[in-house]
Amino acid sequence: MALFAGILISSSIFLIFFLSIPSKDRNVLIDLGLDGEYHKEMIYRVLPVYRFTFIMAVSTLFTGLCIKFFRRYSVNYIYIFGIDPANRLNQYEFYKIFLFLATLWMACSLLELIAIKGFIPSLEHGKSSYFALVLLSVFMILTIQPFNCLYKKFRMEFLYSLLQNLISPFGYVRFKDFFLGDIMTSMVKPLIDMYFIQCFITSGAWKDPMITDTCLPSNDAVLFVSYLPFHIRFFQCINRYYYTRQFNHILNAGKYMSTIVVIVITYFKNTYMKYEYLYLGLYVFSTMYSFIWDILMDWGLMRRTKPGKIFLRDRLKYPPYLYYFSMVTNFILRFAWTLTLLPDWYFSQFFKETGGLFMLLSLAECYRRA
């Protein structure tokens, strides 16, 4: 862990350094009229790759922190999630995974930037995004490789649970399956990046900047990718109601259906420039529905019968301040989407052009879910 942490810190310093220096062939680019803009375009074309892999790496860190939190307060998460004890990972193993992935991410992004700046002449100022391709390949191989190493049993259990989600409503709906489905609903923006990535690889855009724009998701693609995780959770709730006849599963399905309606209205708003007020009203309703469900049903709060625990419940597993903190931050982060309604001048041009707001909202939702 110390080795990866040292490499990560060193790479971060070098990345900042190379971001601040001009390209090696700056005069040549000026003569061609490409100075500045060329570098931006080369960085923007691979940004979804690095944004997606960064979110995935951070997710492993948050998982490790959650496990540390569970163990500190003696929460039997192995039993709750139905994890095979032989396959479990502790927080330190997740930390190691994070440090390895973060080090790899930093090394590839640093080499990508060095190539774009012209310090590797054979790569023609980053025309071919070899390092982004290497980063994606390593991430994919580490996840699906079948050899008995790198936590194979845990990875296979994870992939099997993912399969149960994808075949919803016909798959198993155990706690760990619908919890993974909930995580997928928080990963809509990374999933949109994944759509771009599959086109980036299969179309050959990684080696030809001229066709990168063809991989930008259309409104139809964004609609489908955004809808899919909520479709999974909706039908998982229907599945649970079918077998248990408990009405709370119908109410939970209604929560996801309200989000699906918002996604459809968003599609019409972006495609036909209509329904702005309907979009806003439904989004607020859906967000409040989800927030209230979090408080009342998922966390079981607002059920106290004894004095001194305002808005909480009689039996608490964690210190009271953690519940209050979670309630406030959950409310704020649930409404983080309102940042997209702010006028353009609230954000710097660089922040907007590079998808900085997209990245910020992705991290906010990742943190809220953790």
Q: Look at residues 143, 128, 102 and name the one whose alpha carbon lies nearest to residue 3.
A: 102
In the chain, domain spans: 1-144, 146-267
Tokens for 102? 């973060």
Give the mean model confidence (pLDDT) for residues 236-257: 93
Q: Which residue has the tokens 């640093």?
A: 110
Q: Look at residues 279, 126, 145, 137 and name the one whose alpha carbon lies nearest to residue 197.
A: 137
Q: Determine the Cα–Cα distance for residues 285 and 167; give it in Å rounded to an integer.
A: 29
Share of the chain above pLDDT 70, in %: 83
Q: 82 and 177 in contact (C-beta within 8 Å)?
A: no
Q: Look at residues 206, 58, 205 and name the one whose alpha carbon lies nearest to residue 131.
A: 206
pLDDT digits (tens, 9 = 90+) for 66-82: 999 999 998 898 888 88
- What pTM was computed for the model? 0.87
pLDDT at 31: 46
pLDDT digits (tens, 9 = 90+) for 292-343: 999 999 888 888 777 777 888 888 888 889 999 999 999 999 998 887 776 6
Higher per-residue pLDDT: 268 or 273 = 268
Q: Determine the Cα–Cα distance for residues 228 and 48; give it in Å rounded to an integer.
A: 20
pLDDT at 331: 94
